[in-house]
Structures are given as structure tokens and as C-alpha cells.
Amino acid sequence: MSNAKKIRLVDIMPFKDHPFNVEVDSSLHELAQSIKENGLLNPVIVRPRDNKFEMVSGHRRLKALEINGADEVDAYIKELTDDDAVIFMVDSNLQREKLLPSEKAFAYKMKMDAMKHQGKKLSTSATELHKSRDAIAKGESGEMVRRYIRLTYLIPELLRIVDNTAKYNDKHNITMGIKPAVELSYLTKDEQTLVYSTMIYDDLSPSHAQTIRIRKLSEQKRLNAEELEKILSEEKGNQHEQISFNRENIERVLPYELTKRDKRYIEEYIIKAIEAYNVTNTK
């Protein structure tokens, strides 16, 4: 690759339909501080586009430079077709450690479409994706790639629940894993909206088995609010009554530094406090 060149930030456009989020979190601020102290060790990669440049790889580094108030960035300029640019962009970002299901979903879909445009024979069947899994996502099975791509057919509200489930793993909120989400992806948009509204209104999370039945009703043109309510209100096999607590009330009496720790530390603290209370009151 040729030597990096200085490019003004105002001359760089974001990648069209970029599927990866750039969150302004502590990690990004750490990156910004590192660049401020050590300089940009890895130049970003751009391609010429409409008398400017389109970002291909380095969106987080670019955002970190913006935080630092920089005007220019060191960049490698690559001549890439639209399809080559998509593949390059996806492969560069799949190396990130923490990716949301929605990010993988749209990234895999974009890369698969680009490969199809290049003449590669691919379909969304598990068999075809399995044969080409290394080309689409190394280390990911063809079946898993197929599941992720199906998530792109979900309405944004349901996809957000899938992301939040993966991100927070909060058992006390409405959750939905990838398998049940895939089943719901075959519903019409109106049916998905009905499912979402019922989940929110009744505060219920569907199991995989329940979503299979919901999908079957949809295929039979029999899915309606009444049938949906019946299915979602059923007690699941692993569902038992749980004790729940108001988070704000708990955090109000906890030491401030503990509220910033992982919830397992909070659980241990509460257990020890109850044990100490029991000892005191049994004397």
C-alpha cells in the first residue's frame, strides 16, 4: 500500500449504510487519549468518491480524532469498486470484540449481496452459506450466518430487543434470543408489530417453541391478537415465579462505589447483609 496522505476530516464521508455503531463511550475516549499521546499508529482507509473521500475502515479512529479537535487524518487511499469496498469494510469491522446481533446481521447481508454482485453463486440457504462461511464470516457456521441475515427482516423494535438482550443480559426485562427472533422474522410487518405490542403490554418474552407456533399460525393466516395472547401468556417450562426488587430503591441504600460494580458484587453484598442481619436478630 502506498504511503499515507493527510486528508481533511471535512472531506471524508461516512460509508453508505454503515452497519456498525460508533458509540461515544469510555473505550472511545481511551482511544482518543491514546491518539493524543502517541499519534495515529494505524492510518484510516478511504476511497475516492464524488470529489471527496468515503471512509472504508477507521470510523472509530476518525471519531476519536474529532473528539480531539483534529482537522486532518493520515489515510491510505484505495481504489475500490462498490462491492470491494463493502467486503473490505465488513471484514475490517468484524474483528471488533463486541458486536451486536443487528451489526452482524446487516454486515453479513451487505457482504453476501456484494459477493453475489461479483458473480459468486450464493443463496441464503444454510447449505450454500455453510460452503461459503469462510468467505462471509470466518469462524461462524453457515447456519449462524443464515440466522443473523434473517434478523434483517425484523422490524426495528423487535431487533432492538434482540440487541438489548445480547448487550445487557437482563433477565428482569423483556428479552429475546436469536432463535425465536428468526422465527418472528418470517411474519409480516403488521404481525411483527402485533407481537411487539403484546410483548410490551403484557411484559412477556416469547420462548423459541412459542415463536415456532406463532410462525405456523402466520403461515396458516390464523394469527390474531387473541391467539397471540393465548400463546404468550402460557407459562414456559423453565419459568417460575421470581422475586423482583425495585432497582432504584436498592441502589439508594447501597454504597455509591458498589453501584458501579458488576451485579454479582451487589448480589454478594446483599446476601452478606442479610446473613449479618439474621445473626444479629437470632442472638
CATH 3.40.50.10860 fits 5-80, yes or no: no
Beta strands in the chain (DSSP E): 5-8, 12-13, 44-49, 52-57, 72-77
pLDDT digits (tens, 9 = 90+) for 38-97: 999 999 999 999 899 999 999 999 999 999 999 999 999 999 999 999 999 999 988 887
Looking at per-residue pLDDT, the higher value among 236 and 26 belongs to 26
Q: What whole-number distance in Å separates Cα of residue 104 and Cα of residue 97?
A: 12
| The amino acid at 257 | E
Inter-residue contact 47 to 77 (CB < 8 Å): yes
- Give me the mean pLDDT over the 190-194 stretch: 97
Task: Go through 105-117 and write b for each residue having 16 or more CB atoms within 10 A of its CB, e for each that does not.
Answer: bbbbbbbbebbee
pLDDT digits (tens, 9 = 90+) for 203-253: 889 999 999 999 999 999 999 999 999 999 887 654 444 455 656 667 677
DSSP β-bridge partners for residue 52: 49
Residue keyed to cell 415463536: 211
**Domain residue spans in the chain?**
5-80, 98-151, 154-232, 247-278
CA 107 vs CA 113, 159, 214, 282: distances in Å: 10, 15, 28, 60
